[in-house]
Chains A and B, each alone.
Chain A
Amino acid sequence: MSKRHDEDFHAEIEAHLQLEIDELVDGGMSRAEAARAAHRAFGNVTRSRERFYESNRWLWLDHLARNTRYALRQMKRAPVSTAAILLSLALGVGLNTSIFSLADQALVRPLPVEDPQTLVQLKWNGIFVVAGMGSNGYGNLVPFPLYHQLRDEGDVFADLFARTTANVHLALKDRSLPVNAEIVTGSFFETLGVNPRLGRLFTESDDVVPGGHPQAVISHEFWWSQFAGRESVLGEQLRINGVQLTIIGVAEKGFQGTDWSVAPSIWIPMMMKEAVTGWGGLDEHRSRFAHVFGRLKDGSTRSQAVAHLEPLFDRYLLADTELADWPSVSEDQLAGFLGSQLDVVSGAKGQSWAAEEISSPLLILAGATGLVFLLACLNVANLSVARVLGARRATALRTALGASRRRILGESLVESTVFAVIGGTLGALLAPTVSRFVLTMLGEGAGGTGLNAGLDLRVLGFALATTAVLTVLAGTTPALFAAATPPALALQQRGADGMGGPRGAAVRKAFVVAQFSLALLLLVSASLFAQTLGKLRAEGPGFSTTNLLMLEISPRNDGYDAGNAKTLVRRLQERLEALPETAEVGVAAHSMLSGGSWNNPVTVVTDQMRVATDRSLPMNAITPGFFEALGAKILMGRSFDETDSVDEGWDLRSVILNKEFVDRYLEGKDPVGGRLAFGTAPDALPEIEVIGVVESFQDTGLREPEPQIYFSLWERRVGSGTIYLRTTTDSEYTMNSVRTAMSEVDPTLTAVSLRTVDDQLDRLLVTERVLSTLASAFAVLATVLAMIGLYGVLSFSAERRRNEIGIRMALGASRWSAGSLLVREAAALAVLGLVIALPAVWGVGQLVENQLFGVQPTDLASILAAAAILFAAVLAASAYPARKLSRVKPLEALRAD
């Protein structure tokens, strides 16, 4: 049946009246009399029309439109409270969605590959014995021969692949470009179930003969950025580190390898590793560089796999100790090595060092965001209640004039929904901006480039749903009470039931107390993180970073071999020293303050003692001029000079220790003339002469003073290095001269990076800075939100107490005492909030302790400062309501009701 129009119905009633009049006239009435009688018989025509109107199915839509208009009008009428609610909602939804979306991407989201949940990764649990030289990696790195053995012998895995990464140089027409490469075995793409976008991907047969597969697969993104998505790219040659590779395919869109934080542009077969990076290590048992992933055979569980692997792994370990290159180790180390276990862990998230790096900061931020969210929710609840109660008289009046309870409820339902929708939309719009801000701060160094500002719809949905439900509940519950209040009582403001009465006021005060507790927590955390950053910055690396430049180069990647690379670096150092803008120039094998380092345990013998270090210590290899460039003083012995040099290969003959090493291991005694050996085995033979002691400064990180060992760069092979330049002018201006000088020495040489050391410090402190900035921002927001909440409660309280104040004043109370009444009430709430928060402050301090530096987790100054800020906030929030209350004119107040 089609819908009937109102007009049609009206016409029918008109017809009815006419027919009735006709009949009455026929019966002998006058027309006028008949018309009156007909109308009387019909009753209320308008009411009848209304009843028709209301039977209409679309009525709710009409009500909705009308209520929405009404809600918008109401919102305009109380702009402050409207803005406060919308702000709370937008912040709650926006921050939450942003931070949790990022955390999800970094810590939870599986790789975008086929069936990621069945992907597993190998983890070496136990002690790994490294060769005399070599980097000491993490537990989920395994030596490549082990991968081979598992692939060939084990019957545990259906598929298995190994991967590692490398920074390589791609030669372009006029320059070369540093790009990330992932070096993978032939089974990589098939195991992950990745498809080609173009051409084909590696298979087992593309990774058989060492050096025999000059092929590359490029990423979809690289294909677009570098080749503009040309299909003819297949078969083209890429010059990678001086090696020609043929592009055989483009991987599908969205695939970024197994580490989201280092998206590779190019994939290279494992068998090409040596040709491209200069070191293969595929048969090397004493070092490990590969992450091994795979899929278990159908029906097999991870624990079954571990059990199956055990005999095989034990055989491998034992065979390892019988190899010719097995070093001499202590009993403990041997036992630890043989007791190692091969674990099978989930590989769903891939392998990401950045995830480890930023997981704590992200979790802390997520926690802080959660607190802000809670605060915003309390605010919304509080303000919504205040709004409804504020409109109580109007509601009562309307009820008295005949508005139905349903109608009034409907209105507040619509009003809260409008709030939820607008606030939620603002939040959803705000979230990507927050994400982009955080990602920019994280930057390349902490995985910022691997994440995107896209929102996780589940997180957004959760935030929207939670705030919507809350807003609607907070908006309608008091309306329910208000509508139930007999109008006469409500009009007199005597209605003590519902949220307006003492019980309701207590609930709202509890909200405010909770808000102050949360705000205190966030303020204290912000102060702790800000102090951490400040202390780290103030202490610095122990040398002046002003006018200090660093230039990172990798000659090996630009086609140099170990021999001529050394010559190149020498020439470059000389050329840079000759620049008028430079004072001192030195080279280090490893960039300082980059977070990474070269570590080994050592044994030192002096004429008084023989000491083996209790752990691996960071080492670096440097040239003469390095300490001078930093301004580090030689405390004993001498610095390196041109005599500390060999023509070819590794032949470390001299070593310099830092003061921290001497203090910690050698009782502060002069070690010059002593000898040092790698390793801590009893038969380690110390041959490297200790020639000096340098004052301590931070080489790897900033937090702990580390014992540090320096070798001469000229006594080992040179592959890559970082040149440090102390400049006489602002170092930023020197960068161009440095670039020019570099291209004079070799135009094809790539500057992997050229930046100030201050800049490098910023990168090193990125997580501290992110924590400090965001925690401060959250704390400010929390304080503002708490102020808004308090203001809402106080305004309402002031309104309710007008009467009381009027009487007090009439009895002689001063204006001051009237205003201070309110301020005292507010301060009491704040104090209660602070006291309740103290144990939580302690708890949070313990949680974030490992992110702190130079400040106690229960820093009293921070707590006092936070409390002071909150009391200032209390005064600010209560000033206006208190002033209003102190200006109450007794007579008016008493007459008002």
Chain B
Amino acid sequence: MKPKDPAGQRLALLQGTLNLLILRTLGLGKQHGQGIARAIQRESGDELLVDHGSLYPALQRLEKLSLIQAEWGTSSNNRRARFYTLTAAGREELASETKQWCRLVEVMSRVLGLNEAI
């Protein structure tokens, strides 16, 4: 894995997409903050790098909206960590946000004249 310059080559996250990514990651199961960041990075094939500084305010926001809930637990390597899980409302939000996202992509592609290319 050759080192990448984050500013130059990784994709910047669109406003609002971090929430969806977090929900999606938690949709796969219980995870702590660092695990979520890593998972997003891994799933995106290293294209997306989550700014750890903005991750926690986002988690805080989602928790406040009752879309996710948290409890302290122990990580696989025996570290204490705060684990997040989706709530029922979070699951619904994930479904509807995913649908929204698909529509957005479709519409954006149409507008940008990319349909044929895809």
> Complex: how many Å from CA A45 to CA B52?
9
Given contacts A1-B63, A20-B34, contact A15 B82 (CB under 8 A): yes
Say whether B57 faces chain A, with CB atoms less than 8 Å apart: yes
Say whether A236 faces chain B, with CB atoms less than 8 Å apart: no
Say whether B9 faces chain A, with CB atoms less than 8 Å apart: no
Say whether B24 faces chain A, with CB atoms less than 8 Å apart: no
- Residues A19 and B57 in contact, CB atoms below 8 Å apart: no
Given contacts A1-B66, A12-B82, contact A19 B53 (CB under 8 A): no
Given contacts A12-B82, A15-B80, A19-B75, contact A51 B38 (CB under 8 A): no
Given contacts A1-B66, A43-B52, A55-B57, contact A23 B38 (CB under 8 A): yes
> Complex: how many Å from CA A475 to CA B61?
35
> Complex: how many Å from CA A9 to CA B72?
11
* Chain A residues positioned under 8 Å from B33 (CB to CB): 12, 15-16
- Residues A19 and B56 in contact, CB atoms below 8 Å apart: no
A735 smallest CB distance to B (angstroms): 82
* Chain A residues positioned under 8 Å from B81 (CB to CB): 12, 15-16, 19
A8 smallest CB distance to B (angstroms): 8
Main secondary structure of the interface of B (DSSP, over half): helix
* Chain B residues positioned under 8 Å from A225 (CB to CB): none
Q: In A361-391, which residues have CB < 8 Å from any B CB? A: none
Q: Mark A35-62, 1 if CB is under 8 A from B, else 0.
A: 0000001111101100110010000000
> Complex: how many Å from CA A41 to CA B38?
12
Say whether A536 faces chain B, with CB atoms less than 8 Å apart: no
* Chain B residues positioned under 8 Å from A18 (CB to CB): 79
Say whether B4 faces chain A, with CB atoms less than 8 Å apart: no
Q: Mark B47-70, 1 if CB is under 8 A from A, else 0.
A: 000011100110011011010000
Say whether B27 faces chain A, with CB atoms less than 8 Å apart: no
- Residues A13 and B56 in contact, CB atoms below 8 Å apart: yes
Q: Mark A15-34, 1 if CB is under 8 A from B, else 0.
A: 11011101100000000000
- Residues B32 and A19 in contact, CB atoms below 8 Å apart: yes
Interface centre among B32, B35, B51, B52 (most CB of A within 10 A): B52
* Chain B residues positioned under 8 Å from A44 (CB to CB): 53
B82 smallest CB distance to A (angstroms): 5
* Chain B residues positioned under 8 Å from A23 (CB to CB): 34, 38
- Residues B60 and A55 in contact, CB atoms below 8 Å apart: yes
> Complex: how many Å from CA A16 to CA B31?
12
Say whether B77 faces chain A, with CB atoms less than 8 Å apart: yes
- Residues B53 and A43 in contact, CB atoms below 8 Å apart: yes
> Complex: how many Å from CA A47 to CA B52?
12
* Chain B residues positioned under 8 Å from A9 (CB to CB): 56, 60
- Residues A51 and B63 in contact, CB atoms below 8 Å apart: no
Q: Mark B72-111, 1 if CB is under 8 A from A, else 0.
A: 0001010111100000000000000000000000000000
- Residues B56 and A52 in contact, CB atoms below 8 Å apart: yes
- Residues B79 and A51 in contact, CB atoms below 8 Å apart: no
* Chain A residues positioned under 8 Å from B75 (CB to CB): 19
- Residues B60 and A19 in contact, CB atoms below 8 Å apart: no
Given contacts A16-B33, A19-B34, A19-B35, contact A52 B52 (CB under 8 A): no
* Chain A residues positioned under 8 Å from B61 (CB to CB): 55
* Chain B residues positioned under 8 Å from A45 (CB to CB): 53
Given contacts A44-B53, A52-B57, contact A19 B64 (CB under 8 A): no
* Chain B residues positioned under 8 Å from A20 (CB to CB): 34, 52
- Residues A16 and B60 in contact, CB atoms below 8 Å apart: no
- Residues B64 and A1 in contact, CB atoms below 8 Å apart: yes
- Residues B56 and A48 in contact, CB atoms below 8 Å apart: yes
- Residues A16 and B64 in contact, CB atoms below 8 Å apart: no
**Nearest CB to that of A39 among chain B residues?**
B52
* Chain B residues positioned under 8 Å from A11 (CB to CB): 80, 82
> Complex: how many Å from CA A11 to CA B81?
8
A361 smallest CB distance to B (angstroms): 63
A724 smallest CB distance to B (angstroms): 88
- Residues B56 and A12 in contact, CB atoms below 8 Å apart: yes
> Complex: how many Å from CA A4 to CA B71?
12
* Chain A residues positioned under 8 Å from B82 (CB to CB): 11-12, 15
- Residues B52 and A42 in contact, CB atoms below 8 Å apart: yes
> Complex: how many Å from CA A20 to CA B32?
11
**Nearest CB to that of A41 among chain B residues?**
B52
**Nearest CB to that of B49 among chain A residues?**
A41
- Residues B34 and A48 in contact, CB atoms below 8 Å apart: no
Given contacts A15-B79, A19-B32, A19-B35, contact A52 B60 (CB under 8 A): yes
**Nearest CB to that of A15 among chain B residues?**
B81
B6 smallest CB distance to A (angstroms): 9
> Complex: how many Å from CA A4 to CA B38?
25
- Residues B79 and A19 in contact, CB atoms below 8 Å apart: yes
> Complex: how many Å from CA A4 to CA B59?
13
> Complex: how many Å from CA A22 to CA B35?
12
Q: Mark B9-35, 1 if CB is under 8 A from A, else 0.
A: 000000000000000000000001111
Q: In A752-770, which residues have CB < 8 Å from any B CB? A: none
- Residues B77 and A22 in contact, CB atoms below 8 Å apart: yes
**Nearest CB to that of A12 among chain B residues?**
B82
> Complex: how many Å from CA A120 to CA B63?
67
A156 smallest CB distance to B (angstroms): 70
* Chain A residues positioned under 8 Å from B77 (CB to CB): 19, 22
- Residues B53 and A47 in contact, CB atoms below 8 Å apart: yes
B106 smallest CB distance to A (angstroms): 34
* Chain A residues positioned under 8 Å from B79 (CB to CB): 15, 18-19, 22
Given contacts A18-B79, A19-B79, contact A51 B57 (CB under 8 A): yes
> Complex: how many Å from CA A12 to CA B75?
12
> Complex: how many Å from CA A811 to CA B66?
74
* Chain A residues positioned under 8 Å from B64 (CB to CB): 1, 55
**Nearest CB to that of B34 among chain A residues?**
A19
**Nearest CB to that of B63 among chain A residues?**
A1
> Complex: how many Å from CA A305 to CA B23?
79
Interface centre among B33, B38, B63 (most CB of A within 10 A): B33
> Complex: how many Å from CA A137 to CA B81?
95
- Residues B32 and A15 in contact, CB atoms below 8 Å apart: yes
- Residues B57 and A48 in contact, CB atoms below 8 Å apart: yes
> Complex: how many Å from CA A20 to CA B38?
9
* Chain A residues positioned under 8 Å from B63 (CB to CB): 1
* Chain B residues positioned under 8 Å from A19 (CB to CB): 32, 34-35, 75, 77, 79, 81
* Chain B residues positioned under 8 Å from A48 (CB to CB): 53, 56-57
> Complex: how many Å from CA A43 to CA B79?
22
> Complex: how many Å from CA A849 to CA B56?
77
Interface centre among B34, B35, B53 (most CB of A within 10 A): B34
* Chain A residues positioned under 8 Å from B60 (CB to CB): 4, 9, 52, 55
* Chain A residues positioned under 8 Å from B34 (CB to CB): 15-16, 19-20, 23
> Complex: how many Å from CA A103 to CA B53?
65
> Complex: how many Å from CA A41 to CA B61?
21
* Chain B residues positioned under 8 Å from A1 (CB to CB): 63-64, 66
Interface centre among A12, A22, A23, A51 (most CB of B within 10 A): A12
Interface centre among A19, A22, A47 (most CB of B within 10 A): A19
Residue in contact with B53 in the complex, picked from A12, A42, A55, CB distance below 8 Å: A42
* Chain B residues positioned under 8 Å from A4 (CB to CB): 60
Q: Mark A480-498, 1 if CB is under 8 A from B, else 0.
A: 0000000000000000000
Interface centre among A16, A18, A23 (most CB of B within 10 A): A16
A442 smallest CB distance to B (angstroms): 62
B62 smallest CB distance to A (angstroms): 12
> Complex: how many Å from CA A18 to CA B80?
9
* Chain A residues positioned under 8 Å from B32 (CB to CB): 15-16, 19
> Complex: how many Å from CA A52 to CA B54?
10
> Complex: how many Å from CA A265 to CA B71?
75
CB pairs A–B below 8 angstroms (10 shown):
A11-B82, A12-B56, A13-B56, A19-B32, A19-B35, A20-B52, A22-B79, A23-B38, A42-B52, A45-B53
Q: With A11-B80, A16-B34 given, can you name 9 additional A-B contacts, CB distance below 8 Å? A: A9-B60, A15-B82, A16-B32, A19-B75, A22-B79, A23-B34, A48-B53, A48-B56, A55-B64
**Top 3 A-B residue pairs of the complex, sorted by shortest distance between their CB atoms:** A43-B53, A19-B34, A42-B52
Residues of B within 8 A of A (CB): 32-35, 38, 51-53, 56-57, 60-61, 63-64, 66, 75, 77, 79-82
